[in-house]
Amino acid sequence: MREMTIDERDWSSPQELMAWLKEELDFPDFFGGNLPALYDCLGDICEPTQVTIVRRDPTPDTWFDKATIAFVRIAMENENLRVRVR
C-alpha cells in the first residue's frame, strides 16, 4: 500500500501542492492542476493508497480545505483511496 502525508504547513500555494501530487500519485501529463482535475485523477487511483491530511488552519473555504474535501469525497467512491484527516 502506498502511504503519504499531506501537511498543510508544507504548501504555500495550490500550484505547489498540485505539482507534488502529480508526481507522488503518478497523475498523467495532461493533469490540469486544478480541483476538477484532482477529482478525476483521484477517482482513477488503482493502487491501494492511504493519505493522511494534517490540517493546521480549520478555516473553511481555503484552497487547502477544498483540496481536503476533494480527497474525502473521492475516498468515499474509490475503494483504493483511504483518507484520514487530523
Question: Alpha-carbon distance 36 to 44, whole Å?
Answer: 13
Host domain of residue 54: 2-25+34-85
pLDDT tens per residue across all 86 residues of the chain: 999 999 999 999 999 999 999 999 999 999 999 999 999 999 999 999 999 999 998 888 999 999 999 999 999 999 999 999 99
Query: What residue type is 36 in one-letter code?
Result: P
Q: Which pLDDT score is estimated for 80?
A: 98
In this prediction, residue 17 carries a pLDDT of 98
User: Is the separation of the CB atoms in 40 and 27 below 8 Å?
Assistant: no
Taking the CB of residue 82, how many other CB atoms lie within 10 A of it? 15
- Assign residue 20 the CATH number of its domain: 3.30.370
- Say what the pLDDT of residue 57 is: 85
State the pLDDT at residue 58: 82
As for how many domains the chain has, the answer is 1
Pairwise CA distance, residues 80 & 47, whole Å: 6
pTM: 0.93
